[in-house]
Amino acid sequence: MELGYTPALDPGNPAFLADPYPTLSRLRETTPVFYDEVRERWFVTRHEDVRACLRDKRLGRNFRHVMAPAEIGVPPLDPRWQAFWDTERWSLLWLEPPDHTRIRKLVAAAFTPRSVEALREPVRSLAGEFLAPLTAAGEMELLYDYAQPFSIAVICRMLGVPLDRHRDLLDWSHRMVKMYEFDVPLEAAVAANDAAAEFRDYVHGLIRERRAHPQDDMVTALVGARVDGARLSDDEIVSTVIVLLNAGHEATVNTLGNGMLAFARHPDMWRRVVGGDVTAAAAVEEMIRFDPPLQLFERWVLADDVTVGDQSIPRGAKIALLFGAANRDPRMFDDPDAFDVSRPNADQHIGFGGGIHVCIGAPLARIELAASVEALRSGWGELELVEEPRRTGAFVIWGLEGLKLRRR
Ligand code: HEM
């Protein structure tokens, strides 16, 4: 998109995308909270401020429960993308209390520490199974050959979604998440909307199937669930299943890609993981801190008198929180641009968000990623890049096109 001005932060600019961190750092140190007039948003960069915004109940992922779009000058949702809006409508990421609380409680029932912990061993063996043939081959494209089918298998198993359509699930998800970027081109919006329609129809079929033949899985649990005597509607179940499936692999896959690229570029750090100086779990925290798979989340200001840092921000304004900038804040992390797996406070990263929308899948993501790092360190003790990887071209969902690795 031709902006006609030079924005402080331009996520479409190839030079920025090649390495966003110098720009993010400069902004964080010079204009920690700034307004972009064309994009009509406030950007927040410092760790303390991002964390405070995530926890602030006067900020919401949505505003429609308290304000009409016209009241704050927001155009109505584009009806051409109705199928996409329909799938978002009841997504946890689109809701605020009380609907958010009602649906989150049901989903949280499946993500209790005990039930997630019970997945640790099965996930570990799944990682081993997926990696074994690739280890034998000695070369792989980490994302396509391993991370995607592995993460999809884990979340599908949890939800009770058959694996036969796993490439469709990936394709629908990849098309849909393009809607979260800035300046979405027309063809990408059409593709996202078509994907949402196909995904919605697929999940409706699954709901009918589980209603007729209940299983011991999450889709069946959502179909049968009651909150205060009321069942979830089919539309609510569709949104919930889709957000879990999409969120259940996109960020996990990109964390592994971004993180293993960091290891390929810092072989001394990989050696420390392989040698057992640091646990896989600790390495995972630094992978997320150093190059987080989600760079930006937004909030609406729902109240008067909100201040972020020293900046007062009016009701109805939109705030974009820059996770990558916060994760490299020297006020929180010493030598923040260093990839250091022995960093004592890496787990203070912003990667999983905070407040009421804090990632519900974080415990599962941590188990999956640790299992992958463990499997990789036993079979891929010395590894190298086959070629320089390319970024996807997206900023919000931050990942690689692929990562070709070779065992040395
Ligand atoms: C490394 C992997 C992951 C990262 C970095 C990540 C990050 C995040 C972040 C930052 C949010 C909050 C967004 C906001 O505040 O606006 C979030 C929410 C969410 N995540 Fe994750 N996530 C990961 C993996 C997963 C997995 C494996 C699942 C599912 C099993 C999942 C399911 C969700 C859901 C359902 C929400 C919405 C929660 C709500 O709005 O109440 N995520 N995630």
Query: How many Å lie between the centroid of ligand 1 and the Cα of residue 360?
Result: 6
Query: How many Å lie between the centroid of ligand 1 and the Cα of residue 247?
Result: 6
Spell out the residues 6+ positions from residue 312 whose beta carbon is closer than 8 angstroms to its own: 305, 306
What confidence tens digit (pLDDT) does each residue in 310-338 have? 999 999 999 999 999 999 999 999 999 99
Q: Judge if the beta carbon of residue 353 lies within 6 A of ligand 1.
A: yes
pLDDT at 137: 97
Q: Judge if the beta carbon of residue 357 lies within 6 A of ligand 1.
A: yes
According to DSSP, residue 60 is labeled: E
Q: Which ligand 1 atom is at minimum distance from the Cα of 364? A: 27
What value does the mean pLDDT take over residues 383-391?
Answer: 97
Whether 235 shows a pLDDT value over 70: the answer reads yes
pLDDT at 366: 97
Query: How many Å lie between the centroid of ligand 1 and the Cα of residue 381?
Result: 30
What confidence tens digit (pLDDT) does each residue in 30-57 have? 999 999 988 899 999 999 999 999 999 9
What confidence tens digit (pLDDT) does each residue in 261-315 have? 999 999 999 999 999 999 999 999 999 999 999 999 999 999 999 999 999 999 9
Distance between CA atoms of 400 and 264, rounded to whole angstroms?
Answer: 14
According to DSSP, residue 358 is labeled: S
Are 172 and 161 a contacting pair, CB within 8 Å? no
pLDDT at 383: 96
**Domains by residue range for the chain, with CATH:** 14-407 (1.10.630.10)
Are 44 and 33 a contacting pair, CB within 8 Å? yes
Report helix, strand or coil for 394: coil
pLDDT at 231: 87
